[in-house]
Structure 1
Amino acid sequence: MPKTPLSCVLLADRHHGLTEGVRCLLETSFETVVMVADEVSLLEGAIRLRPDVAVVDLSLAQSSGLGWFHALRQHCPNLKVIVLSVHDEQSVRQAVMDAGANAFVLKSAIATELLTTVDAVRQGRREDVSIR
């Protein structure tokens, strides 16, 4: 039975090449994929569009840290957030999950794990794909 597409996903990543590939993947599950390349656009897009899910590169901001995540949670507390990262360190995963992300997916696992993770997040589960 085909899945009913969700209405909108916000994809935030500064790396255009990767973003295009992820966009194509997400289009199989969402009616609309909106791409942004900085934290200001992420926050404005989330407030204006009220997407079902945001898929965000951990290193979206020029500065280190999770300031963008805290701002996003403040303005859109019910938004499902999946964080992507190249960093496979336990401390990074733990910080992201402790901050309240719904899921953490390594960029090396996007092709095999992202859509499964989207489904899990839609069902209310929290996922750390890097420890499967």
Structure 2
Amino acid sequence: MIRVLLAEDMHMIRAALTALLRLEPDIEVAGEVTRGDEIVPAALRLRPDVAIVDIDLPVLDGITAAASLRAELPSCRILVLTALGRPGQVRRALEAGIQAFLVKDAPGERLADAVRRTAAGLRVLDPELVASALQYGESPLTPRETTVLREAARGSSAEDISARLHLSAGTVRNYLTSAITKTGARNKIDAIRIAEDAGWL
């Protein structure tokens, strides 16, 4: 029996995935979580064979959570769910050592097969997804520019970011301007979109 931990914040999607997996005689849904920071504690408690992790989770993103899970419980294999339109995130996941991906709009029958292959330690890679992921290069942003842009993506003002990072508001604005220039964006919102799509945030 393959024990699965499911990490998905969208209730309907999580319920559908659980229902699909419960149809399989050799797969058991051992637990479900809705946030990235819940994955490692749940996995340490439940000891699943496979964790199915949505790439876009609240509190802690799926890639960061999956990397932590690999470190804390190496015996648990990770299958990442992703959208085809976010290839940069797949590149980040590949760099983090994750080798199993399932596109969210894949046919339902592929889910059980992907879980079995992941549990067996095999790669589950969509060639189109990997090819599009590799088109993005390394991030042109410095670590500080990345941090500031990530804070801006959460809706924080320059003043809020400056207080949180112990920088002057002018320095924060300079970092944002530099990030806009380096990403080739028109403005801050465009820079955030470009960086998120490329997996740089």
TM-score (norm 1): 0.82
Write the letter of the residue equivalent to 1:56.
Answer: V
Aligned match of 1:105:
102
2:7 alignment partner, one of 12, 16, 22:
12
What's the CA shift for 1:130?
5.5
2:62 counterpart of 1:74: no
- Structure 1 runs (4+) deviating above 6 angstroms are none
Alignment of structure 1 residues 14-33 onto 2, 5 Å: 14-27=9-22, 28=24, 29-33=26-30
Unaligned runs of 5+ in 1: none
Q: More relative contact order in 1 or in 2 (CA 8 Å, sep 6+)?
A: 1
The answer as to whether partners of 1:61 and 1:68 remain within 8 angstroms in 2 is: no
Indicate the residue corresponding to 2:42 in structure 1.
Answer: 45
The 5 A counterparts of 1:82-93 are: 82-93=79-90
Question: Secondary structure of 1:128's partner?
Answer: coil
1:46 Cα deviation after fit: 0.4
Q: RMSD value over aligned CA atoms?
A: 2.1
Q: Deviations over 1:17-65 (max 9, x none)?
A: 0000000111224233411101222111101111010001001134557
| The structure with more helix, counted as a fraction of residues | 2
Shift of 1:118: 1.3
One-letter code aligned to 1:44: P
Higher Cα Rg: structure 1 or 2?
A: 2
Work out the CA distance in 2 between the residues paired with 1:115 and 1:65.
20
2:57 to 46, 55, 60: 60
User: Identity over aligned residues, as a percent?
Assistant: 28
Between the aligned partners of 2:62 and 2:71, the Cα distance in structure 1 is 16
2:113 match? 116
5+ residue gaps, structure 2: 130-201
Q: Determine the C-alpha separation between the residues in 2 that align with 1:19 and 1:60.
A: 12
